[in-house]
Structure 1
Amino acid sequence: MAGINLEQLPIVLRQFNGITENQTVKKELQVLLNPYFSFNELCLINIENNKASAEMRTMKYFDFEETLFIDALIDDSILWVEINNSSMFRTPSNVESALVFQVKTGFGKAQCLVFLSIEPGACFNELESMPLQILLQQVAHQLEHQTRLNRQKFHSTSLLSRLAELSNLFNDFASEWFWKTTENNLFTNVLTSNVANNLYKRHFLNKTFDDVITEHEQTQLKKWSQFKHLLSEQNEFIDFEFEINSSPQAWVSFSGKPQYDANGHFKGYMGIAKDITVNKDREYALNLAKNRAEEASLAKSQFLTVMSHEIRTPMNAIVGMLELLADSELNEKQSRWLNYANTSADLLLDLISDVLDFSKIESGSLQLDVKATDIYTLVKNIASQFLETSQSTGVIFSSEIKTGLPKTIDIDSARVGQILFNILDNAIKFTKVGTVNFKVDSTEKELIFEISDTGQGMSQSQLETIYDAFKQHDDGVNRQAEGIGLGLSITKSLVDLMKGTITVVSEPNVGTKFTIVIPFTLVKETTHTQEQEQSLEPISILVTEDNKTNQVLIKTFLEKLNHHVTLADNGQQAIEKVQASTFDLVLMDMMMPVMDGISATKYMREKLNLTIPIVALTANASKQDKSACLEAGMDKVLTKPIRFHDLNRALRILFSQ
């Protein structure tokens, strides 16, 4: 077959018009170039600014060394390469030769047609003929153009695929839709992204707001009157939420703007709506969980209140009777047994107080009672008490109290005492044999307490949980320390409440050291009237108490003080007795059958206009209970269990005012 001449060239070029597949171009070229040479594979390489890249190839694997390739084509338009003798091309082993045609397209730019596995034909020596050069130039342009189109097509297809994916995702999850109304607020258009979901079209088209809302929404008169006022004033509104009467019921949020025609006449609203059903369901679930948590907290508080009352009531009798026994003639063995009973009773009272304190701390209702305090006397008494109690143990107790402590400071003395008692008690409890040292110092603004012992100590892991509630490091069945594990947790909370710090260092079998720093304010010394220690003159007292044992106890206490006692089993009896007789004082329990102490006190104050002192003697120890007693008209609240000297002192203070 003869080579291509100029007359044949236009016809040959038309054969390539419309060809889009690389393999088809290769087949056509194999036929046309067969008189010159035959080849198996074809590649198009673009050169621009000394950078070469393969734009099209008909074989799966083909690569080349860019620098060698560009350098070899600097002067030649046609390049013959024996691949086995050159490192320019990296091809499969069955490709032995390559023929490169360079077509320069502009300054610094060129296109190269690379034919692989060449076998020369009859006209191989005519490769530089003009018709062949023009043909290869046009083929190169077409291949480059086709490659660019294919790349754009791939990019466009990928983009459309991504947009379709996003569109499907939007249809699945988008909650926004568009709406339009007439001037009379009739919905005329509803456009949603999900054409398959016609919920909004079905419930809104050709209806007004009144037609689509639930019965519950119709009862929200204030809400809807305000919204309709906005509509009547043709104002813009944003995120107006309401529930629609659909199946299933749904919540929507509406935002809209008024629309006007060319003459400025109002023609209705247009806006966007959003499905907020999921948010409302989540909000409902959160509110439900919050209400349940609040109910549980209230139930816990009520339980603790009831348990406090139920435990303190018999404890009042136990402690009081033990106190009466201690005032009687006992032999040595009986006195020892009585001391054991008193110790157990005190321990039980401490546990009850710890549980109530922990409940207050947990709920954030614990408050400090800051008042003028003789801090030296306070810590001296605490040290003396622990010196006495340690004498029956194998512990040597010592104290170092700075003589220059401030005389009177503003601080919660009861809580400071509680903190020191907790730490000192633990120090002695966990030091079977050894020493416990109590050191008190101060600066101008802070008290510094150090309590160190040579007891069993704690490991680092134990120190990390030392302040955890209900946590005891000696918690096995053979544990020797009593308690429920609240002491240190409460101590840490009290120190934090007082804006102080507490630190601890410890080592197993070496000992433990606590350092507590509590800030204070100095109080100028004032002259205080000493309480009169003499007994109160005999008075007539009505004791209102439903527990028979406590009746006997309180009556015995008061009669020891030479007072005249009358008993009432409940509030109703107390009212009848104060109407029948004259009393100087009423001691009133809070929780009683028939009529409680709060109701009885209110009746005496409001209906009978009685002004005699009424004192609550109750097992209800919470702050709310005390407030309820005072609001009802009681003059003072005494908490059970009450001891003889405490009752005597309270009566002296009450009648000396």
Structure 2
Amino acid sequence: MDKPHLLPGAKRPEDTFLATASHEIRTPLNGILGTVSLLLETELEPSQREYAEAIRLSGSRLLDLLNNVLDYARLDSSEIELETEAFCPVRLGREVVELLSPRAHAAGLDIAARASDLPMPSYSGDAGRIRQILFNLVGNALKFTETGAVLLDIHAHEDGLEYRIIDTGPGIAPGDRDRLFEAFRQNSRQDAYKDGGVGLGLAIVKRLTDLLGGSIDVTGAPGLGTCFSVRLPLKRANLPPTHDLPVLDAVVGLAGLPAATCLAATSALIDASARPVFIDVSSGHVPPEVEVLLIGAEQPEETVRALARKAPSLVVLRPEDRGAIARFKAMGCAGWLVRPLRASSLVERVYVVKTGGMPADEPERLTGAGRVLIADDNPVNAMIARRALESAGFTVTVASTGIEALEAAKSMNPALILMDLRMPEMDGFEAMRHLRAEGSDVPMIAVSAEVNPDIERQAIAAGANDVVAKPIEPQALRELAIHWTGADAKAGKAGAA
């Protein structure tokens, strides 16, 4: 039977259902995950923490399952329109790695992004769909890797772009590779139990890769890990190659870091015009030109003390080592970083240790300050966001409709607005358009239970500076607010005005 003809601009019934289902399911799920994250930041008995972690793990698995089912249904029911925009492949890759860093932390894994050539050229293509491909592939690698690391390798080619996702997981037998990209299929019953999903993530990746005219290849062997390689035929953008990070003129020594952390640090330092030098910890020799050292926390105490005497040092900790910060400072370390390393944090901390001050374009943003307006009609989600931001030093006002948000924005002069896109009386899209039409240049972050490339484009067109998906971890929300209320917000304001 032929599909009924739709008038231009009309929504398919399937699309309306998917949007509604996505919002109605994700919104209470956001309340569950957000509340348990706040709970885990409080003092808990060991058994209470174990129960709360179980809730968070179960909720996260449910969210992954929901995302895959809805994404697959959307791809199956809709005509996908591809967009073309200029984007930086390194920045896009780092965004994916940073989004998935909490998941890597929780699993005790290292995660890193590495570019083959820096600075790397920009490309033209559908960045939203490419981000979705990478998110699924890196997330899949984290799911099946128990020890070691996941690396996102970025390669520029004359005729396009290649992303490789390399893990130290169990590997895939050659006979299983042909079935990997079939919907509702997993390699084994054991994988299904471990995954907790239904086998849709890689089917979505294959569908999106085909839509972009690309190809995907899998290599590896049981016990030797896996490499997924996505090759996309993209044209280079008419933008000059740019560094993704502020310029950092320094020689930085890398001492006793895990392999994935070394790769991440090397890539970020080169991108920031710094020169990494590998230090042989067994000899203890540090070249005199080294200005800052990065030392792995796993090194013996006497090694850390000896290295810290030779150059100002930052210790690189595992997430579970945060309680040992005072001990490492007593050994002579000037500061610390937690892995997986964030490129921007690495560059900022190295600059601080080297100069004793902050870069002119990277002011200190360790705590929040200023007024934040939260527009959200769900009282639980609004409470989670308010508590998270107030604990970081922000003053928060909550509005439950778009109209209330407009009135509050005029009276309180906020430094930042978090705008839910689906609200009664006036939705977030219309509220943002009104504020921009009235000349407001306040940073606005669109928040939605349904985020896909189409929603992102609509939100940016309405005036949003950024778009984030529910649920968002309290700590990630704090970092987002601190980022947009700092000097970095100046560049974003101009883009949305």
Shared fold per TM-score greater than 0.5: yes
**Contact kept? 2:365, 2:483, Cα under 8 Å:** no
CA drift of 1:480 comes to 5.3
Q: Counterparts of 1:633 and 1:455 in 2: how far apart (Å)?
A: 45
SS of equivalent residue, structure 1 residue 346: helix
What displacement does 1:580 show? Answer: 5.0
**Aligned in 2, Cα 1:417/1:505: closer, same or farther, shift over 3 Å?**
closer
Gap change, CA 1:516 and 1:549, over 3 Å in 2: same
Counterpart for residue 182 of structure 2: 468
Q: Distance in 2 between matches of 1:380 and 1:575?
A: 35
Q: Deviations over 1:91-132 (max 9, x none)?
A: xxxxxxxxxxxxxxxxxxxxxxxxxxxxxxxxxxxxxxxxxx
Identity %: 24
Aligned partner of 2:388 among 557, 567, 570: 557
Q: Deviations over 1:174-200 (max 9, x none)?
A: xxxxxxxxxxxxxxxxxxxxxxxxxxx
Give the AA of the match of 2:203: S
Give the corresponding residue for 2:63: 349
Q: 1:646 to 1:497 in 2, by over 3 A?
A: farther
Q: 1:305 aligns with which of 16, 19, 23?
A: 19
In 2, Cα distance between equivalents of 1:402 and 1:572 = 42
Aligned residue in 1 for 2:475 = 645
2:231 paired residue among 508, 514, 518: 518
Say whether 1:598 aligns with 2:314.
no
Q: CA deviation at 1:628?
A: 3.5
Residue 51 of structure 1: aligned partner: none
The Cα of 1:345 is off from its aligned counterpart by 2.6
Pick from 397, 402, 405: which aligns with 2:116? 405
Q: Tell me which of 445, 458, 463 is aligned to 1:615.
A: 445
| Inter-CA distance 418–635: structure 2 relative to 1 (3 Å threshold) | closer
Assess, with a 3 A threshold, how the Cα gap between structure 1 residues 293 and 468 changes in structure 2: closer, same or farther.
farther
Aligned counterparts of 2:151 and 2:428: Cα–Cα separation in 1:
45
Counterpart CA distance in 2 for 1:376 and 1:573 is 37
Give SS of 1:542's match. strand
Residues 1:364 and 2:195 are matched in the alignment? no
Q: Which residue of 1 aligns with 2:138?
A: 421
Q: CA deviation at 1:649?
A: 3.4
- 1:629 aligned to 453, 459, 467, which one? 459
Q: Normalized against structure 1, the TM-score is what?
A: 0.44
Q: Is the 8 A contact 2:94 2:113 kept in 1?
A: no
AA matched with 2:455: D
The match for 1:323 among 20, 37, 55 is 37
Counterpart-to-counterpart distance in 1, 2:34 and 2:166 = 36
> SS at 2:5's partner residue?
helix
- Structure 2 Cα separation of the partners of residues 381 and 610 of structure 1: 30
C-alpha separation between the residues in 1 aligned to 2:119 and 2:9?
44
Structure 2 unpaired stretches of 5+: 247-343, 345-361, 491-497
SS in 1 for 2:12: helix
8 A contact 1:544–1:567 mirrored in 2: yes
Contact 1:474 1:481 in 2 (8 A): no
Moved more, 541-550 or 573-582: 573-582
Q: Is the 1:372–1:408 Cα contact (8 Å) retained in structure 2?
A: no
1:301, distance to aligned residue in structure 2 (A): 1.4
Q: Which amino acid aligns with 2:141?
A: L
**1:485–1:631 distance in 2 versus 1, CA, 3 Å:** same
Q: Which amino acid aligns with 1:639?
A: A
Give distance in 1, aligned partners of 2:167 and 2:195.
19
Q: Secondary structure at the match of 1:650?
A: helix
CA contact (8 A) 1:360 1:366 kept: no
Contact 2:100 2:139 in 1 (8 A): no
The one-letter code of the counterpart of 1:589 is D
Code of the aligned partner of 2:116 = L
Q: Report the alpha carbon displacement of residue 483 of structure 1 after superposing the two structures with TM.
A: 0.6
Alpha-carbon distance between aligned partners in 1 of 2:154 and 2:455, rounded to the nearest angstrom: 38
* 3-state SS of 2:55 partner: helix
Matched, 1:539 2:370: yes
For 2:17, the aligned partner's letter is: F
1:402/1:512 Cα in 2 relative to 1: closer, same or farther (>3 Å)? closer
Q: Which amino acid aligns with 2:80?
A: G
User: Gapped runs of 5+ residues in structure 1?
Assistant: 1-284, 392-396
CA RMSD, Structure 1 to Structure 2 (Å): 4.9
Contact 1:544 1:586 in 2 (8 A): yes
**CA distance in structure 2 between the aligned counterparts of 1:384 and 1:546, rounded to whole angstroms:** 30
- Aligned partner of 2:46: which letter? E
Cα 1:479–1:374 change in 2 (3 A) is closer
Shift in Å, 1:544: 2.1
Which shifted more, 493-502 or 615-624?
A: 493-502
Change (3 A) 1:377 1:562: closer
* Residues 220, 226 of structure 2: 8 Å contact kept: yes
Q: Using a 3 Å threshold, how does the CA distance of structure 1 residues 292 and 567 change in structure 2: closer, same or farther?
A: closer
DSSP 3-state at the match of 1:518: strand
SS in 2 for 1:300: helix
1:375/1:405 contact within 8 Å kept: no
Aligned to 1:484: 198
Cα deviation per residue 1:36-84 (whole Å; 9 max; x = unaligned)?
Answer: xxxxxxxxxxxxxxxxxxxxxxxxxxxxxxxxxxxxxxxxxxxxxxxxx
User: Which residue of structure 1 aligns with residue 332 of structure 2?
Assistant: none
- Measured after TM superposition, the shift of residue 553 of structure 1 is 1.0
- 1:310-363 C-alpha deviation (Å, 9 max, x unpaired): 222223222222221222112222222232222223222322332344355443
Counterparts of 2:190 and 2:117, CA distance in 1:
44
Q: CA deviation at 1:486?
A: 0.8
- In the TM superposition, residue 644 of structure 1 has moved relative to its aligned partner by 2.8
CA pair 633-305 structure 1, distance change in 2 beyond 3 A: same
Deviations 1:393-435 (A, max 9, x none): xxxx999x99993344357684564354255246548xxxx99
Work out the CA distance in 1 between the residues paired with 2:440 and 2:156: 52
How many residue pairs were aligned? 357
Structure number with the bigger relative contact order (C-alpha 8 A, sep ≥ 6) is: 2
| Contact 2:171–2:226 (CA under 8 A) maintained in structure 1 | no
Structure 1 residue 587 and structure 2 residue 300: aligned? no
The Cα shift of 1:305 comes to 1.2
CA distance in 1, matches of 2:110, 2:390: 42
Paired with 1:489 and 1:325, the residues of 2 have a C-alpha distance of 36
Matches within 5 A, 1:1-150: none
Distance 1:500 1:553, change over 3 A: same
Q: Which moved more, 1:638-647 or 1:552-561?
A: 638-647
Q: 1:332 aligns with which of 46, 54, 63?
A: 46
1:640 CA drift (Å): 1.8
Deviations for 1:252-284, whole angstroms, at most 9, x for unmatched residues? xxxxxxxxxxxxxxxxxxxxxxxxxxxxxxxxx
User: Secondary structure at the residue paired with 1:338?
Assistant: helix
* Residues 368, 316 of structure 1: alpha-carbon distance in 2 compared, 3 angstrom cutoff: farther
* Change over 3 Å in CA distance of 1:423–1:643 after alignment to 2: closer
CA contact (8 A) 1:452 1:512 kept: yes
